[in-house]
Amino acid sequence: MTPQPPSGFIRLNRYLARAGVCSSRRAADVLIASGQVRVNGKVASLGARIGPNDVVEVNGRRVVPQTEALYILLHKPHDTITTCHDERGRKTVLDCLTLPPEQKQGLFPVGRLDRNTTGVLLLTNDGELAYRLMHPRYRIEKIYVARTARPVTPHEVTLLRKGVLLEDGLARAERVSVNPADPHEIALMLYEGRNRQVRRMLEALGHEVVHLKRTHYAGLTTQGVRPGKWRRLSADEVRRLYRMVGLVPPKVFKPLPNHGTADTH
C-alpha cells in the first residue's frame, strides 16, 4: 500500500499555483526545476510536499497561498490596464476592486483585454482553473461587440468567418453577426484569445474600431454590473467553470468573508 502524506500537506506545485506565483502546476514544476524555489532555506525538489509550518520562498521572497479561492467578475472600464501592477502608474484592474490588500494578494486577471476594451473580465487566485480557461484546448467562448467607423459589409462578414490573415497566422471567428438596424455594430464569437485579436481582424479589413466590448466570457456576462464595478461569482458559477475545463468541482464552495458589499452599482 502506498503511504499517505500527513494530513494538511499539499504538493509544492499546487501550493505555488494557489499562491498566484504560477498559472498552473505545470508552470510551477518548471519554476521548481529551475532552482528558484526554496523550502525552509533549502532548494526545493520536484514532488515536494508542504506542511502548515514550512516556509516557501521564490527568489528570496516568501509566498503564502490564499486560504480560500476567490473568483471576481469585473466589468472592466475604459482606460484601464489588464495587469496587477503598472510601472507607469496607470490604473489597473486590481485598482477597481474594493478589497483589503490581503485578499488582492495572489489575485490575477484570466486573460487580457487591451487598455480601451471594456467588458467582462474574470479575476481569481485559482491558478489551475485560470490556466485551463485560457488554454485553447478547452474552447472557451468569448463574444465581443465592436462599433466600427464605417458599415460592415456582408462580404466582410464572410471573410471574418473564413479567416483573416494576421502577422501571427490565420484568425477566424466562429460566429459573426451584424446588427440589421445598425451595420456599424458587429458581434464576433471566438475560441482563441490572441493579443488584440478582434481589433486586428477588423483593422485587417480596413476598419477603424471606435469601441470594443467583451460581452460574454465562458458564459459570464456583465449584466447587473456597471462599468468599473464588480461582484463575486456564485457557487453555481464556479462549479460550472470547473466542469467546462474538465476539473472536478469543489464539493463545498466557501466564499471568502465579505468586507463590505461587492461593488455592483
pTM for the model: 0.76
pLDDT at 251: 61
**Mean local confidence (pLDDT), 68-91:** 92
pLDDT at 69: 84
- Nearest Cα neighbor of 115 from 67, 153, 163, 81 is 81
Confidence of residue 144 (pLDDT cuts 50, 70, 90): very high
Which residue would you say has higher pLDDT here, 170 or 265? 170
- Percentage of the residues of the chain whose pLDDT score is greater than 90: 66
CATH code of the domain in which 42 resides: 3.10.290.10
Question: Does pLDDT of 201 surpass 70?
Answer: yes
> To the nearest whole number, what is the mean pLDDT of the chain?
88
- Concatenated DSSP letters of 151-214: PPPHHHHHHHHH-EEETTEEE--SEEEE-TT-TTEEEEEES---TTHHHHHHHHTT--EEEEEE
**Mean local confidence (pLDDT), 204-219:** 98
Rounded Cα distance, 66 and 82, in Å? 21
pLDDT at 193: 86
Same structural domain for residues 79 and 106? yes
pLDDT at 6: 46
Question: Does pLDDT of 215 surpass 60?
Answer: yes
- Report yes or no on 252 lying in a domain: no
Rounded Cα distance, 179 and 140, in Å? 24
Same structural domain for residues 36 and 155? no
Question: Does pLDDT of 256 surpass 50?
Answer: no
pLDDT at 23: 65
Question: Does pLDDT of 260 surpass 70?
Answer: no
Count of alpha carbons within 13 angstroms of residue 80, beta-carbon side: 24
Rounded Cα distance, 194 and 200, in Å? 10
**Mean local confidence (pLDDT), 150-178:** 96
Confidence of residue 2 (pLDDT cuts 50, 70, 90): very low
What is the domain extent for residue 182?
A: 141-217
- 41 Cα distance to chain centroid: 32
- Report yes or no on 4 lying in a domain: no
Count of structural domains within the chain? 3
**Mean local confidence (pLDDT), 203-228:** 97
For the record, the C-alpha cell of 225 comes out as 454590473
End-to-end CA, the chain: 56
- Report yes or no on 53 lying in a domain: yes
Question: Does pLDDT of 100 surpass 90?
Answer: no
The per-residue pLDDT for range 40-53, each reduced to its tens digit, is 999 999 989 988 78
- Report yes or no on 160 lying in a domain: yes
Question: Does pLDDT of 255 surpass 60?
Answer: no
Same structural domain for residues 153 and 204? yes
- Report yes or no on 97 lying in a domain: yes
Can you give the C-alpha Rg of the chain in angstroms? 21
Question: Does pLDDT of 25 surpass 50?
Answer: yes
Count of alpha carbons within 13 angstroms of residue 136, beta-carbon side: 5
So which residues are the catalytic ones?
114
